[in-house]
Amino acid sequence: MKKRKRLLLGMIVFSVLLTSFSFYFYQLFFGVNVLAEKNDTTILIDRDDTFDSLRNRLYDEQIIEDALSFSFVSKVLGYQDAIKPGVYLLNKDMNNLEAVRKLRAGDQTPVNITFNNVRLKPELAEKITANTGVSTEEFLALLKNEDYIADFGFNEATVIGMFIPNTYEVYWTISAEALFERMNKEYKAFWNDSRKQKAEAIGLSPAEVSTLASIVQAESIMGDESPTIAGLYINRLNKNILLQADPTVKFALGDFEIQRVLTADTRIDSPYNTYRYKGLPPGPINLPTISSINAVLNYKKHDYIYMCAKEDFSGYHRFAKTLVEHNKNARLFQQALNRRNIYR
């Protein structure tokens, strides 16, 4: 009888312990440990992160509540020795098993890259890599690598036109080369048959359209006027007249703050100086937007070959068909500049 009681007691104790351990291990794997009663959040695992640095950061930032259980589950699943860099979305009330499985699988969340209002390659490199693991210097080196960009049909002067300003989704771990290739893919998709046909009808290549669009964009801040400006420059190209676009002179001088281009400025010997060299400059003088490109492709047909900023500084222009009319408009604007003491 005593033996039986001891056996029964032992079985009860064992059952209690087994139940306790089962519950404990269940809690380790399936109990809420990530963002308990908080909002979803994204985390960045950098390329130089270790498991210890990641776990400590998650705990310090109160993303996980119990670092020990997270470490245990990570060890069981082999994640401690196989962390993958990237940006990951962790959901509220996740358990360790869900979180570790997601991180171990490298199930990244895409990041957005957005670039616009760009003049020079360093600005482009900085903006396009801002949310990625690619360094500005690394991407800029590609933009300056003549042999590399030649494989895509561009040169150092035209390559900036390959980038169509927009917002794109990529993974943080994308390489500089893969990012460049992705932008080339977007460029090809943008230049569909319809746009190519419009460019051909104008007598320009897609790269030349981008160059002209960059000039149109620099000339006006008023979008509704852009097709008229585009038509004016197309008229000049067709008549083999110097474009005489002030923004190209500013680009040649490397000074974008000039408000008043002087005669001396127009003498600079640069292929970008359209007061000195006929036709389009070697490449875009900024990164033209989609609307600027479309303004060239859908330019307004007219007989204007001259334009001058309006004297009210509204951002609009006065257009003219003759030099006499243009000189009148130019005097009005120059007088307005003088009244404002703007000499440069």
**C-beta of residue 211 within 8 angstroms of C-beta of residue 281:** yes
> In the predicted model, is pLDDT for residue 16 greater than 60?
no
**pLDDT score recorded for residue 258:** 82
Enter the pTM of the model: 0.85
Of 148-152, 161-165, 220-224, least confident by mean pLDDT is 220-224
The reported pLDDT for the residue numbered 89 is 96
Question: How many of the other CB atoms lie within 10 Å of CB of 247?
Answer: 21
Query: Mean pLDDT of all residues in the chain?
Result: 89
Res 20: pLDDT = 46
pLDDT of 204 higher than 90 = yes
**Of the ranges 19-28, 130-139, 301-310, which one carries the lowest mean pLDDT score?**
19-28
Does residue 223 carry a pLDDT above 90?
A: no
Task: Report residue 1's pLDDT band, with 50, 70 and 90 as the boundaries.
Answer: low
3-state helix/strand/coil string of 123-136? HHHHHHCCCCCCCH
Q: What is the pLDDT of residues 34-53, one digit of tens each?
A: 888 889 999 999 999 999 99
- For the CA atoms of 311, 314, 316, 319, what is the dihedral angle to 10 degrees? -20
Q: Residue 259 — pLDDT band, cuts 50, 70, 90? A: confident
User: Is residue 248 within 8 Å of 274, Cβ to Cβ?
Assistant: yes
Distance CA 172, CA 62 (A): 23
The pLDDT score that the predictor gives to residue 344 is: 55
Residue matched to tokens 């962790």: 90
CB atoms inside a 10 Å sphere around CB 59: 16
pLDDT at 338: 81
CA distance 240 to 234: 10
